[in-house]
Amino acid sequence: MFARSAARSLTSQSRLFSTTAARLTKVAVLGAGGGIGQPLSLLLKSDPLVTSLSLYDIRGAPGVAADVSHVDTGSEVNGYAADKLDEALEGVEVVVIPAGVPRKMTRDDLFNTNASIVRDLASAIGRVAPSAHVLVISNPVNSTVPIVASTLAKAGVYNPARVFGVTTLDVVRAARFTAGIAGVSPAEAPITVVGGHSGATIVPLLSQSTHGKGIKGEVYDKLVHRIQFGGDEVVKAKDGAGSATLSMAYAGAKFTNALLRGLNGEKGVVTPTFVESPLYKDQGIDFFSSNVELGVNGVEKIHPLGQLSAEEEKLMEACLPELKKNIEKGRAFVESS
Ligand SMILES: NC(=O)C1=CN([C@@H]2O[C@H](COP(=O)(O)OP(=O)(O)OC[C@H]3O[C@@H](n4cnc5c(N)ncnc54)[C@H](O)[C@@H]3O)[C@@H](O)[C@H]2O)C=CC1
Ligand SMILES: O=C([O-])CC(=O)C(=O)O
């Protein structure tokens, strides 16, 4: 079912999973009973690089685990009820967090509910699995990632190479939408998306893409808007029933597979992700999404942005102040907790 392939970047491949080696990896999903958590758990059960899957939620995880465990792949699956968080985290190397509420309005509206959920989960990770790699899906990502980092730092176990905001859905959308305009396969139209994960903080670098660089004028403006506000399309279409879940599960599984490939020693695994980054530290922005090489230690190398077009410079001007505010809000929440 899954093809083996030579090392190559995540953004240049269309297959969901790719593997070059086998190594024992225990992965936990916190929020496994939710709209993202359930399909994500199924996809991770299908990933040959996952050998053990630990599913936790305050509601319904044992049922999801029993269901997913019948899938005929090698990994073992265990489900944990609300009071079993510590057990769920034991021996885990990779923790994926889609726990929390989805939005009705803006992602920032979620802050009040999700900030404490993410902080408490990070605190348990710091206690039970302090060297785990933590992949944050819960919104607002621009704030929840600093919350995880600050919580782990408070516990004295923060390793910046091991905390990631999952921005892969922006990358997936950018490739899909650009390919639609260019009339090519999305696999031929990888787009680097940088910045953060909400509206104006999402900056697609179309000028660096073979099929994106020729898109100009109104078509360009509409494409950028669609990439930045793709989440709104889904929220609107679901009409009160939540936000993107299936495409996010796909994106979450894709990023997890990329990290597992890196942890396995595969070289050249490069994809955008929101991490502690030197790129805009001089402007007081400590977290930023850009192309990152993933390796045995998690973050191996943060790539420079490369040449930006005049339009992208303008997008970046709008991105940076908003991103800075979002990051500060996350940090301040942990400081005052
Ligand atoms: N990073 C990204 O690109 C995206 C992020 N999201 C975000 O992912 C999050 C989850 O979205 P959905 O799955 O649609 O929501 P959902 O409401 O369907 O599922 C969330 C799950 O989290 C569980 N939960 C709540 N508190 C918990 C806790 N303390 N510990 C463990 N589990 C807990 C709930 O019981 C529920 O099963 C939202 O914050 C959403 O905004 C959604 C799409 C894309
Ligand atoms: O729009 C939302 O709230 C969910 C999300 O992050 C996305 O779809 O990109």
78-89 pLDDT, tens digit per residue, is 999 999 999 999
Domain-ending residue, one of 165, 180, 215: 165
Q: Is 136 in the pocket of ligand 1 (CB under 6 A)?
A: no
- Please tell me the predicted confidence (pLDDT) of residue 105: 67
d(CA 326, CA 337): 17
For residue 177, what is the domain's CATH number?
3.90.110.10
Question: How many whole angstroms separate alpha carbon 263 and alpha carbon 235?
Answer: 34
Q: Which ligand is nearest to the CA of 252?
A: 1
Q: Are residues 112 and 57 in the same domain?
A: yes
Looking at residue 16, its pLDDT comes to 73
Question: Does 154 share its domain with 119?
Answer: yes
Q: What is the Å distance from ligand 2's center to 138 Cα?
A: 9
Task: State how far the Cα of 309 lies from the Cα of 163, in Å rounded to an integer.
Answer: 30
Q: Is residue 33 part of a domain?
A: yes
Which pLDDT belongs to residue 12? 44
Task: Work out the number of other CB atoms within 10 angstroms of the CB of residue 307.
Answer: 9
Ligand 2 atom closest to residue 139's alpha carbon, by position in its atom list:
6
Angle between helices 230-238 and 217-228 (to 10 degrees): 60
Q: Tens digits of per-residue pLDDT, 239-276?
A: 989 999 999 999 999 999 999 999 999 999 999 999 99
Which residue segment(s) compose the domain that 302 sits in? 168-336
Q: Answer yes or no: do 185 and 308 share one domain.
A: yes
21 in a structural domain: no
Same structural domain, 139 and 222: no
Measured from the alpha carbon of residue 100, the closest ligand is 1
- Average pLDDT, 10 consecutive residues per value, the chain (337 residues): 39 57 83 98 97 98 98 97 98 98 80 96 98 98 98 98 98 98 97 98 98 97 98 94 96 98 96 98 98 97 98 98 98 97
Report CA(325)–ligand 2 centroid distance (Å).
19
Ligand 2 touching residue 171 (CB < 6 A): no
Q: Which of 248, 289, 326 to mutate to test the pocket of ligand 2 (most atoms within 8 A of CB)?
A: 248
Given 111, 139, 165, which residue is the final one in a domain?
165
Query: Model's pTM, two decimal places?
Result: 0.95
Q: What is the pLDDT of residue 19?
A: 58
Predicted pLDDT of residue 165: 99
Residue found under tokens 């793709």:
230
Encode pLDDT of 143-168 as tens digits: 999 999 999 999 999 999 999 999 99
Report residue 97 as tokens: 């967090």
Q: How many domains does the chain have?
A: 2
Measure Cα distances from 216 to 58, 219, 222, 264, 317 in Å: 48, 6, 10, 41, 20
Does the annotation place 298 within a ligand binding site?
Answer: no
Same domain, 185 and 322: yes
Give the model's pLDDT for residue 137: 98
Q: Is 70 a catalytic residue?
A: no
CA dihedral for 101, 233, 18, 300, sign (positive or negative): negative
Question: How deeply is 207 buried, as exposed, middle or buried, from its count of CB atoms within 10 A (0-12, 13-18, 19+)?
Answer: middle
201 and 64 together in one domain: no
